[in-house]
Amino acid sequence: MEETTISVKKYILVYGSILGLIWIIYGVLRHITDNRTTSNWMLSMFELFLHIGITVFGIYKFKQKDNGFLSLWQAFKIGLGIALVCILVQLTWDIFFVKVISPETLIEALNSGNESASSKSQGENDYIFNRFLRGLIFNSTLGILISLLGGAIMQKNRDPF
């Protein structure tokens, strides 16, 4: 019996880009409604469900294309890859948005009290770098957890015989 393997790259790029574009639209909507720097538990829950939904859906579509088989390692790669592509798209947009479209948003974020006094005294580039680093760590961790949980639930290995 001939066994074919499906590349996870396509699913990582497609669903990571979709999630990144949804985050961009969501960020623009938050900016339009003046909720750019406010925190709300409802918004946090929406963001979490959005991340979980797209990541698990990407893993599910891969499993469906691979004749119903999915290893935990494949789910891990897809989930982490989706998170990394998403954060790359999202933070590229954030840098463009803060530097070109709406520089007053950065000043508002620096003065909002959400940041510590030491980060307020740092420059704009340090703020953007710290935000990028925090986003990278948080979204990577979240992508790992989602992919491991979703992969453990959907896991179905091929029969070795």
pLDDT, tens digit (0-9, with 9 covering 90-100), for 26-39:
988 888 887 766 77
**Structure-token pair, residue 109:** 């974020």
Domain membership of residue 115 as a residue range: 9-154
- Does the residue 101 lie in any domain? yes
- Does the residue 78 lie in any domain? yes
Q: Which runs of consecutive H residues, i.e. helices, occur in 33-161?
A: 41-65, 72-96, 103-111, 117-121, 124-154
- Counting the structural domains of the chain, the total is 1
- Does the residue 135 lie in any domain? yes
With tokens 């929406």, the residue in question is 46
Q: What is the CA radius of gyration of the chain?
A: 18
CA atoms 59, 60, 61, 64: torsion sign: positive
- Does the residue 161 lie in any domain? no
Separation between Cα atoms, residue 78 and residue 54, nearest integer Å: 11
- Does the residue 26 lie in any domain? yes
- Does the residue 20 lie in any domain? yes
- Does the residue 102 lie in any domain? yes
Q: Which amino acid is at 1?
A: M
With tokens 């740092």, the residue in question is 122
pTM of the predicted model, to two decimals? 0.82
Segment 85-128, tens digit of pLDDT: 999 998 888 888 877 887 776 676 666 655 554 545 456 677 77
- Does the residue 109 lie in any domain? yes
